[in-house]
Amino acid sequence: MAVEVFMPKAGMDMKEGKIIKWLVNVGDEVKEGDGVLEIETDKVTMEVEAPADGTLLCKYFEDGTTVPVVTIIGYIGEKGEKVPDGPATAGAEETKAPESTSEATKKPEKNDNSYDVAVIGGGPAGYVAAIRAAQLGGKVVIFEKDVVGGTCLNRGCIPTKTYIKTAETIHGIKEAHLRGVHVDTNSLSVNMEEIYNYKNTVVKKLTSGVGALLKSNGVEIVNGTATIADKNTVECNGKKYTSQNIILCGGSVAGRIPLEGIEGKKVLDSTDILELKEIPAKLGVIGGGVIGCEIATAFNAFGSEVTIVELADNLVSMFDKEVSTSIEKSMKKAGVKVLTGKNIKKIENSDEKPCIVLESGEKFEFDNVLLSIGRKADIEFVGSLKDTLKLERGKIVVDEYCKTNIDNIYACGDITTKSTLAHSAFKMGEVAANNAMGHTEKCNLNNVPGCLYTMPEAASVGLTEEAAKKDHDIAVGKFPFGANGRALSSGESEGFVKVIIDKKYGEILGVHIVGAVATEMIMEAKAAMDAELTVYEISEMIHPHPTYTEAFVEACTDALGRCIHLPKK
């Protein structure tokens, strides 16, 4: 199928562009990314790149012509493929080529409720998509039923990391005597209401910042529950909004399981527990994934007696096995009780205290129970498209351009079958907006890092050792933070850096870190993998001393069998 070449909209104020020179002729073959023509805007001269491999089938305008933005100026496809006789604006019927600049610049005005892009959901994917579409000159509206920022800012990433930092502060005070700083830790007290209020201050600052960014970019914000009326119409608060393109970013809600007693009022989900203003004496956590382990870390430091019950044989089983084992060991060392490989039969809610009953018959009573068994897509907005939109296991299927099976509707983030991480959602939102505004861009979700904010932290990118062994002849390098000068001097010597490489080429297949700054360090590994640097090149790079990042290069050299700061094997 032939692919359109557009006059791009390269800025909010750009209305038209002048074709300076076509760089290829009709019939010439081009590769995706090759320069096809040069254009001039009021601000810059730039090349328009080929959106796909193929042959230039036609060009509707000659050198020197001024053309409105988002007008189809040519097609690329297979030789002999039929294309329209004349140009069109993206999404419109074929039109006659303009005869003059003044005619070319005429563009129908949109009414008050007509937009280029409508975004449903104001979380990481949604607000990024809205801002990016506005940066490209689109008239944009965003619908949010709660507070902009989504789960990440309001009920997930930011609140939990605020709690984790408080936990780290408590830990630091208790360890201060090791550095000659003596504090009476017997008088140490934790005020949960003040912790809660501080968390809300951080959240409000960030969410208000997102709101300000949206407004500064001219995005219209509509508060309310949006529903799709048809492929070009969104209904909210009894009012209809039409849009050429719709980007779906509904996010997710806490998952539930069909378990007897799960509806007890002391059984909380990951949203509920962030509203507690009292520290539970005993906290049970069902689920040893990322959310469960992070909440357990925080409340253990606050003073709760925490027990994690996990069906799998390991905590955070999505990580490399050595990472999982190390995190479980650290949790136990900190005083968290860990029960892995345990199946829960029911929850008893008598006497106002929930009791977890295992299939084995064992019972554990708590003041509160946290249910953290994952999240599910929030797609209540689909409305009239519920039987049209392609879904898999309750999530929306999108292609590499973040497009659904409906040509003008895109979807991003937790509601899709792609990655459910906030940083993936940011990227998907940006790509969807670019494509909705006439560009052709693929969303590369290779080497997306996974992060765990416990004490110590953990982070991974690429293949686990188990997965790498299946298709590669591998070597593994490992360096402990106990041999790293910065980690030792900081009193944070727990953990390691593990690097998995392909022996034949020295390609880095995976990097796994457990340590105090693992979530910051992982970016160097990702950047190296994206740039296709080999372990040989990394091993030659000079890292500043003393830094935690030296452990990464040491692990790389260990994979080559020549680490200087480890005993000879």
What digits encode the pLDDT tens for the residues 343-363? 999 999 977 899 999 999 999
CB of 377 closer than 8 Å to CB of 414: yes
pLDDT score of 100 more than 80: no
Of 23, 225, 247, 15, nearest in space to 126 by CA: 247
CA 441 – CA 122 distance, rounded (Å): 22
When pLDDT is averaged across residues 505-528 and rounded to a whole number, the result is: 97
Which of residues 373, 397, 428 is at a domain's end? Answer: 373
When pLDDT is averaged across residues 97-109 and rounded to a whole number, the result is: 38
Q: Containing domain of residue 55, as a range?
A: 3-93
For residue 60, being part of any structural domain is answered with yes
Question: Are 206 and 128 found together in one domain?
Answer: yes
- Active-site residues, by number, are 545
What digits encode the pLDDT tens for the residues 232-246? 999 999 999 999 999
For residue 445, being part of any structural domain is answered with no
Question: Are 326 and 390 found together in one domain?
Answer: no
Which of residues 373, 402, 422 is at a domain's end? Answer: 373
Instruction: State the pairing for strand pair 267-268/368-371.
Output: parallel
Predicted pLDDT at 423: 95
Which of residues 59, 93, 127 is at a domain's end? Answer: 93
Predicted pLDDT at 68: 87
Question: Are 17 and 129 found together in one domain?
Answer: no
Question: Are 328 and 203 found together in one domain?
Answer: no
Indicate the pTM of the whole model: 0.80
Predicted pLDDT at 118: 97
When pLDDT is averaged across residues 213-242 and rounded to a whole number, the result is: 95
Predicted pLDDT at 360: 94
Question: Are 123 and 246 found together in one domain?
Answer: yes
Question: Are 136 and 243 found together in one domain?
Answer: yes
For residue 40, being part of any structural domain is answered with yes
For residue 108, being part of any structural domain is answered with no
CA 538 – CA 557 distance, rounded (Å): 8
DSSP letters spanning 376-399? EE--GGGGGGTTTS-EETTEE---
Question: Are 160 and 222 found together in one domain?
Answer: yes
CATH of the domain at 498: 3.30.390.30
Adjacent-strand bridge partners of 307: 284, 337
CATH of the domain at 88: 2.40.50.100
For residue 449, being part of any structural domain is answered with no
Adjacent-strand bridge partners of 406: none
| Confidence label for 4 from pLDDT (cuts 50, 70 and 90) | confident
Question: Are 300 and 180 found together in one domain?
Answer: no
CA 325 to chain centre: 26
Question: Are 187 and 217 found together in one domain?
Answer: yes
Residue 485 CA: distances (Å) to CA of 199, 267, 457, 516, 547? 33, 45, 18, 13, 7
Question: What three-state secondary structure class fits 247?
Answer: strand
For residue 530, being part of any structural domain is answered with yes
When pLDDT is averaged across residues 312-341 and rounded to a whole number, the result is: 97
For residue 262, being part of any structural domain is answered with no
Q: Is the dihedral of CA 401, 407, 413, 419 positive or negative?
A: negative
Question: Are 121 and 244 found together in one domain?
Answer: yes
Adjacent-strand bridge partners of 496: 480, 514
When pLDDT is averaged across residues 14-33 and rounded to a whole number, the result is: 88
Question: Are 249 and 382 found together in one domain?
Answer: yes
Domain count, the chain: 4
CA 492 – CA 173 distance, rounded (Å): 14
Predicted pLDDT at 10: 67
Predicted pLDDT at 460: 98
Predicted pLDDT at 2: 83
As a whole number, the mean pLDDT across the chain is 91
Question: Are 226 and 144 found together in one domain?
Answer: yes
For residue 358, being part of any structural domain is answered with yes
CATH of the domain at 384: 3.50.50.60
Of 62, 55, 56, 86, nearest in space to 72 by CA: 86
